[in-house]
Structure 1
Amino acid sequence: MPPLQHRSTGHVAEQLSIIDRLSLRPFPGEEGRPGASDRWSGPGFHLAVLRESQDFWEDRSIEIVEAAELELEADLAALAGVLTARWGVPEKVDLWPCTGVDDPDPSTPIREPLGFLRGVAGSMQVWWLPNSDRWVGLAIGQADPEWAFQLLAGIGDSASLRRSP
């Protein structure tokens, strides 16, 4: 079984198209997954799985896991290169502890998409969209060691993330 097979767009152009569409789409009033199991939105955010590896239920050998992670890291690097050429150098946002958010108090609920991303990734690269109150973030996440790695794109409103000085 090849390391990457599920929900893979496979091409940077297709991944960019998803990001571009979500960056322009209005945020809905309530959370949901309209029409796509690999995308969801809510007040102030959109999230999309751009590429997903196989899961590791049957084989968690280091070779299989590392190969899958390296392929997604290569995809992330290619996509980040295009976004950097378009919007400039990204910010690195540490998601745990949740620095970069307006209120790092752990008792305060974290706004989406940061709540989800914080649960599956340690950091993300963020580009602030010009002439917009939105940001685009890319991360590789994994919810559990047996689950697939995912290349994730998050689009959020500026209220959910504090811009670094």
Structure 2
Amino acid sequence: MTTDSATPPAPGPGSALALIDDALARPFPAGEESEDNGVRSSGPGHHLLILRASRDFWDDRSLETVEPAEQEIEEEFSLLASALSERWGEPETVELWPYLEEDGPTPEPVSQLSNLAGSMQVWRLPDRGGRWLGLAVGQADPEFPIWLLAAVGEDSVLPG
């Protein structure tokens, strides 16, 4: 997932909720088909969205630069998680690091998420066709932006 061809939305839970609602309503691509517009990637059984991105840290990885960016993304995460919990109740925490240790292939979007974040908050949405919604904060490498991520996937991908 890249951010070259599109820009994540402006801050605020309202715009993020609109993107999430769109992803929940959007069908998954069929077969081996996949899409990536830089802010949303989709494939069989999943959508992954960058809801918010900090600046990158290629030129400056000092604490004075990184900490405010982390705090801003974490605050947005908390606001959005609260709004989602009002809709669907308290989420469960799913640890993502164990997926990195699995021998076989990990299904998407969990494979991408496990390379970006250590855990995610998950709401299971049986009224949405057996889908789940995940919310995480992740970063590909220390030089890259910090991302607020949302994922929509099929229930069969997650244990429990």
Q: TM-score, normalised by structure 2?
A: 0.90
Q: Distance in 2 between matches of 1:78 and 1:97?
A: 27
Measure how far apart 1:72 and its partner are: 0.3
The 3-state SS of whatever aligns with 1:19 is helix
In the alignment, structure 1 residue 70 sits paired with structure 2 residue 71:
yes
C-alpha deviations, 1:104-136, integer Å up to 9, x for none?
972210000000000010000000114231000
CA contact 2:57–2:143 (8 Å) conserved in 1? yes
Secondary structure of 2:148's aligned partner: strand
Would you say the 8 A contact 2:28–2:44 is kept in 1? yes
The gaps in structure 2 that reach 5 residues or longer are: 1-6
Query: 2:103 maps to what in 1?
Result: 107
Q: Which residue pairs with 2:14 in the alignment?
A: 13
Task: Determine what percentage of the aligned residue pairs are the same residue.
Answer: 48
> How big is the shift at 1:9?
2.4
More helix by proportion, 1 or 2?
A: 2
Aligned equivalent of 1:124, options 117, 120, 131:
120
SS at match of 1:97: helix
Structure 1: state its 5+ residue gaps.
1-5, 99-103
For 1:21 and 1:56, how far apart are their aligned partners in 2? Answer: 30
Distance in 2, Cα, partners of 1:105 & 1:144: 19
2:3 equivalent in structure 1? none
Q: What is the SS of the residue equivalent to 1:27?
A: coil
TM-score, normalised to structure 1, is 0.88
Residues 87 and 130 in structure 1, CA contact (< 8 A), matched pair in contact too: no
- Determine which of 138, 147, 152 is the counterpart of 1:150: 147
- Secondary structure in 2 matching 1:106: coil
